Structure 1
Amino acid sequence: MPPPLTRSTTTIILLLLSTTSATIINQYPYQEQDCTNKWIFIRQLPPRFNVDLLTNCSSYPLFNNFCPYLPNHGLGHKTHNKTHSWFRTDPLMLEVIFHHRMLEYPCLTTNPNLATAIYVPYYGGLDSLKYLYGPEVNNSFRHGQDLYHYLSKKDSPDIWDKYMGHDHFLVLSRSAWDFNQPEGNDPPGFGTSFLELPEFYNVTALTSEARAYPWQERAIPYPTSFHPPSLHFLHSWINRVKRSKRSTLMMFAAGGGISANPNIRRSIRLECENVTQLSDEGSGYSNLCEFVDCSNGVCEHDPLKFMRPMLQASFCLQPPGETPTRRSTFDSIIAGCIPVFFEDLTARKQYGWHLPEDQYHEFSVFIPKEEVVFKGLQIVDVLQSIPTNQVRRMRERVIEMLPRVIYRRHGSSLGLKETQDAFDIAVEGTLQRIKSRLDEVASQ
C-alpha cells in the first residue's frame, strides 16, 4: 500500500498550484520560443473549483480515497524509492497533472486579449464526485452552473463575452459519458449534465474518452505510470523495450470476462485458458497467451503487475469494458506491445491527435468483436497468421509512438521538453482547433 498523504504534502500541492503563472515562467524558462498563435491565458478561479477539491480527497467513501495519489503534483507516489520515472498514477489525476504542466507552458500571457486560447483550470472530474457519489447525487443537473456563472458574470465577463466561450478549453479526467445526463432526466441516471449545458457548448473539453458526435469533445491519452524527467530516462526505457524478448504471442490484462452472457472479454478469457494447453511447436513462442487478472482494481496503481508481461508479449488485447476506451492501450504502447482492438471507438475514433487514424494499420491489429464472440474466430489464428517481418515493423512503429502518449514529469530537463509528449500534442491540437473555430465564427 502507498504511504498516506500527509498534511504537509497537501499544503505543498496547494501552494504550487496557486502559484502565479508569471512565477512559473521564471522558474522554467524557454529560450527563443516562438509564441505566434500559441499564447494562452489562464483564468484565475476561486479555490473551490480546483485546489479545494484536493483537500476533500477522502470525502467520497462510495468512490474511494484518492489522497494517496496526489503527491508529486498528481503523479502519485513512486513505485519504489530508487525510480525516477515510475509512479502510482491514478487516471483521475489528469486534471491536476495537466494544470501543473500548463503552469510550465512557455507561452503564457497575463493579457487575455493577446491569447489564442483561454485555459480554465477547473477540476471537473473531481468536482463531479459529489454528484456521482456524494451529497449532491440528486442534483447532477447543477454540475457546471456555478462555474459558468463565475466565468461569464463575476470574473471579468468581457473575457467570456468576447467569443462566448469559443476560445476557452478545459480538461475532464473522466469519460465524456459521465457528463452527458440530459438536464430533465427524472430520476437522474448515473452522470452529470456538465457537457449537456448549452452554456458550455462552445468550450473545447479534453476528456479521457470522447463521444463520437459532439463538436466540443476531444479525447487525450489516459495518464500512465511512466513519467520520465529527462531524455536519458526516456531513451533508457525505449532501449529496454527494444531489447525485450517477446516469448508470449498475446496477453490480456483486465478484470471481468466471467459473465455467462456472450461478450468479447469472456471470449478472450476462454480462449486464453484453452490455447495455453495446445502444442506450440514452430511458432517461436513459448506461451501463446497470458492472462493477468486485474479484478477489483489490483493493477490500477501497480504497473509491475502488468508491465512485465506486456514487455514479454508481442500483442496486447484491448477489448472495450464498461466504456470503449482503456488506459491499458497506452500501457501496452509504452511496453512496445502491439495493441489489438475489437471496436473502432476503443482508440481509432478517439485519439486522432496522438494516434493518427489513417496510420492504425501500421501499429495495431483490428479484429471485429462480433467475429470472435458469435462466429468463433480464434484470435490466436489471426495473430499467428501475421508475417514475422510485419510484426517487427509494427512493433517499431509502436515504439516510435511511445513518446506521444506519455506525460513527462513536471520540471523536465530542456532536452526532453524538445520532444513532444501527450500534453504538448494536446495543447497544440487545442490551439489549432480553437483558431480554426474562431476563424469560422468570424466568417459567419
Structure 2
Amino acid sequence: MPPPPPPLPSFSLILLLFLLSSTTISQSQDTDPESDCTDKWIHIRHLPPQFNVDLLKNCSEYPLFDNFCPYLSNHGLGQKTHNSSHSWYRTDPFMLELIFHRRMLEYPCLTSDPNQANAIYLPYYGGIDSLKYLYGPEVNSSILHGLDLYQYLVHQDSPNIWNKNFGHDHFLVMARPAWDLIQPLSADPPIFGTSFLELPEFYNVTVLTFEARAYPWQERAIPYPTSFHPPNLAFFESWVNRLRRTRRPSLMLFAGGGGISANPNVRRSIRLECENSTSMSVNGTRYTKLCDFVDCSNGVCEHDPLRVMKPMLQATFCLQPPGDTPTRRSTFDGILAGCIPVFFEDLSSKKQYQWHLPEEKYEEFSVFIPKEEVVFKGLRVLDVLMSIPRAEVRRMREKVLEMMPRVMYRKHESSLGLRSKKDAFDIAIEGTLQRIKSRLEEIA
C-alpha cells in the first residue's frame, strides 16, 4: 500500500503562500541584467483578487464539476503522489491557470512598465471563474462571463494600457476547451457553456486554451498539464533513461472511457478489437498482449498517475481517439511515458498544438488512422500497427522522447540545467510573443 498523501493545507495558508511568493518573485525578476529581453518583455497587469485568488475560495462549491480544493497545493500542481516523490503530483489539468501564473512570476523578462512591454499578461483564472456559469448559480447568465473583467480593464484601471492597442497586446490562459466558451450570445434558452470567446470585447486578446477550434480567431491550444513536473535535470534525465530501458510487452493501449454504446464510433471499434485480440509475435517481437485496455470511466484515472502510467510504460502505441471533444490529456501522458501516439482525426493533433508539436513533425513521432476507415470500412487498428517495421518503431519512440520536454510543465523554481530545455510554458510564451508581434505589425 502506498503511503497516504500529506494533509491538505488550509485554503488560507495556500493563499498566503501564493501572495507572498508572487510579491517576492515579481520584484526580484523585474530587471534581470543577465537576460536578453529584446522583444520579450512582458508586463503582468494588476488584477484585484476577485479575478484570481478569491475564486479559489469556492473550490468545494461545484459538486457537479468536482471538489478541486485538494489540487490547489504546490501552486496548482496538487499534492505529491507519495511523500518521497520529487517529480510526480496529483495534478488536475483545470489548475493550469495557477500553474501558468506561478511560472509567469519567475519569467526573466518581466517589466513593471506596460509601455516597455511587448505583451501584457492577464492573471485571470477564467476557467475557474466559468464554473459558476457552467455548474453554479449563474448558469442562466453565462453570456456575462468576462464582462466584469472588461469593465475593470477599460474603465477602472489605467484605461490607457488597454486603449494603446485595444487588447491586441494582451493574453491570458483559460483552462477549458474552447468549446466550453463559445455559447452564442443569442442562445435562448442558454446551452452548456459560456460566451467568453464570443464577446466582441475580447476578440483582440490572445487566449491560450486546452483545445482550439479548427479556425480560431483568438485562441491557441497549449498542452494539458500531466502529473510529471521534474524540479531539475537529474530527475528528468533519470526518467528518460528509464523509458529507454523499459520493455514493452503490449503492442497497443487504450486508456479511456466510452465505447459501450451500440452506435458506431471509433471508441467502440477499438474496444471490440481489444476484446478479440490475442498474443502473438509481430515483426519478430513477442507481445504478451496485442491490445491492453484501461477503463478510465467516471474520471477514475484523473488524479492517479500510476493507474495509467504503468500500462503506458508497457505499451508501444497509445491510442488517442476523440471523445466529448477532439483532444485528450492522455495524449501528453502517453508521450511522457514514451508511448507512440495514434491519432484518428486531425483536430486531435495537427490542427491543435502547432507551437509545441509542429504539423510537419507528426509523421516522425505518431501514427494517423482516419476514424472513418476504422468505423465504417472495417480497417483494423492492429493491422496498421503490426505492419510498421521494427526499425521505424524505434525511430518513432526516440522522436517521442525528443519531443517530451516540449509538452511537460516543469516545476516552478526548477534548476538552471532543466531550464535550458524549453518546456510547454516556454514554448507557449514564445508563440504568444510572436503572435502578438505579428498582430501589432498588421494593425500598425
Smaller-chain TM-score bracket: over 0.9
Q: Residue 324 of structure 2 corresponds to which residue in structure 1? A: 322
The 5-angstrom pairing of residues 233-248 of structure 1 reads: 233-248=235-250
8 Å Cα contact 1:87/1:225 also seen in 2: yes
The 5-angstrom pairing of residues 58-69 of structure 1 reads: 58-69=60-71
Q: Residue 157 of structure 1 corresponds to which residue in structure 2? A: 159
Distance 1:407 1:258, change over 3 A: same
Q: Secondary structure at the match of 1:206?
A: strand
1:111 to 103, 110, 113: 113
Q: Residue 387 of structure 1 corresponds to which residue in structure 2? A: 389
Distance 1:28 1:88, change over 3 A: farther
2:91 to 89, 94, 101: 89
1:274 to 276, 287, 300: 276
Distance 1:437 1:381, change over 3 A: same
Unaligned residue ranges in structure 2 (runs of 5+):
none
8 Å Cα contact 1:25/1:105 also seen in 2: no
Give the whole-Å Cα distance in 2 for the aligned partners of 1:285 and 1:87: 31
Q: Residue 48 of structure 1 corresponds to which residue in structure 2? A: 50
The 5-angstrom pairing of residues 166-185 of structure 1 reads: 166-185=168-187
Give the whole-Å Cα distance in 1 for the aligned partners of 2:69 and 2:137: 19
Q: Which amino acid aligns with 1:361?
A: E
Distance 1:239 1:434, change over 3 A: same
The 5-angstrom pairing of residues 280-299 of structure 1 reads: 280=281, 282-299=284-301
1:402 to 401, 404, 407: 404
Q: Which moved more, 1:180-189 or 1:411-420?
A: 411-420
Q: Secondary structure at the match of 1:396?
A: helix
Give the whole-Å Cα distance in 1 for the aligned partners of 2:30 and 2:73: 20
Q: Residue 5 of structure 1 corresponds to which residue in structure 2? A: 8
Q: Deviations over 1:356-415 (max 9, x none)?
A: 001100000000001111111111110010011000000000000001100000111111
C-alpha deviation, 1:18, in angstroms = 6.2
Give the whole-Å Cα distance in 2 for the aligned partners of 1:354 and 1:57: 31
C-alpha deviation, 1:418, in angstroms = 1.6
C-alpha deviation, 1:184, in angstroms = 1.1
Q: Which amino acid aligns with 2:368?
A: F
Q: Which moved more, 1:279-288 or 1:398-407?
A: 279-288
Q: Secondary structure at the match of 1:114?
A: coil
Q: Secondary structure at the match of 2:67?
A: coil
Q: Secondary structure at the match of 1:392?
A: helix
Give the whole-Å Cα distance in 2 for the aligned partners of 1:151 and 1:29: 25
Q: Deviations over 1:2-38 (max 9, x none)?
A: 566332x542334424655564452799662100000
Q: Secondary structure at the match of 2:123?
A: coil
Give the whole-Å Cα distance in 1 for the aligned partners of 2:48 and 2:32: 29
Is it true that 1:221 corresponds to 2:220 in the alignment? Answer: no
Distance 1:60 1:300, change over 3 A: same
8 Å Cα contact 1:4/1:67 also seen in 2: no
Give the whole-Å Cα distance in 2 for the aligned partners of 1:88 and 1:140: 30
1:362 to 355, 358, 364: 364
C-alpha deviation, 1:62, in angstroms = 1.5
Q: Secondary structure at the match of 1:189?
A: coil
Distance 1:80 1:2, change over 3 A: closer
Q: Could you tell me the TM-score, scaled by structure 2's length?
A: 0.96
State the superposition RMSD in angstroms: 1.6
Q: Which amino acid aligns with 1:401?
A: M
8 Å Cα contact 1:280/1:288 also seen in 2: no
Kindly, what percent of the aligned residue pairs are identical?
Answer: 72
Is it true that 1:143 corresponds to 2:145 in the alignment? Answer: yes
Give the whole-Å Cα distance in 1 for the aligned partners of 2:12 and 2:224: 23
Q: Secondary structure at the match of 2:120?
A: strand
Q: Secondary structure at the match of 2:309?
A: helix
Distance 1:111 1:30, change over 3 A: closer
Give the whole-Å Cα distance in 2 for the aligned partners of 1:330 and 1:160: 35
Q: Residue 302 of structure 2 corresponds to which residue in structure 1? A: 300
Distance 1:30 1:327, change over 3 A: farther
C-alpha deviation, 1:50, in angstroms = 0.3
8 Å Cα contact 2:172/2:207 also seen in 1: yes
Q: Which amino acid aligns with 1:11?
A: L
Q: Residue 265 of structure 2 corresponds to which residue in structure 1? A: 263
Distance 1:365 1:92, change over 3 A: same
1:80 to 62, 79, 82: 82
Q: Secondary structure at the match of 2:396?
A: helix
Q: Deviations over 1:189-237 (max 9, x none)?
A: 0000000000100000000001111221100000000000000000010
8 Å Cα contact 1:241/1:335 also seen in 2: yes
Distance 1:31 1:404, change over 3 A: farther
8 Å Cα contact 2:5/2:83 also seen in 1: no
C-alpha deviation, 1:103, in angstroms = 0.4
Q: Residue 435 of structure 1 corresponds to which residue in structure 2? A: 437
2:315 to 313, 316, 337: 313
Q: Which amino acid aligns with 2:154?
A: S
Q: Secondary structure at the match of 1:288?
A: strand
Give the whole-Å Cα distance in 1 for the aligned partners of 2:32 and 2:402: 25
Q: Residue 102 of structure 2 corresponds to which residue in structure 1? A: 100
C-alpha deviation, 1:238, in angstroms = 0.5
Q: Secondary structure at the match of 1:138?
A: helix
Unaligned residue ranges in structure 1 (runs of 5+):
none
Q: Secondary structure at the match of 1:289?
A: strand
8 Å Cα contact 1:25/1:104 also seen in 2: no
How many residues were matched structurally? 440
Distance 1:161 1:11, change over 3 A: same
The 5-angstrom pairing of residues 9-28 of structure 1 reads: 10-17=12-19, 19-20=21-22, 23-24=25-26, 26=28
Q: Residue 201 of structure 2 corresponds to which residue in structure 1? A: 199
Give the whole-Å Cα distance in 1 for the aligned partners of 2:176 and 2:418: 28
Give the whole-Å Cα distance in 2 for the aligned partners of 1:434 and 1:77: 35
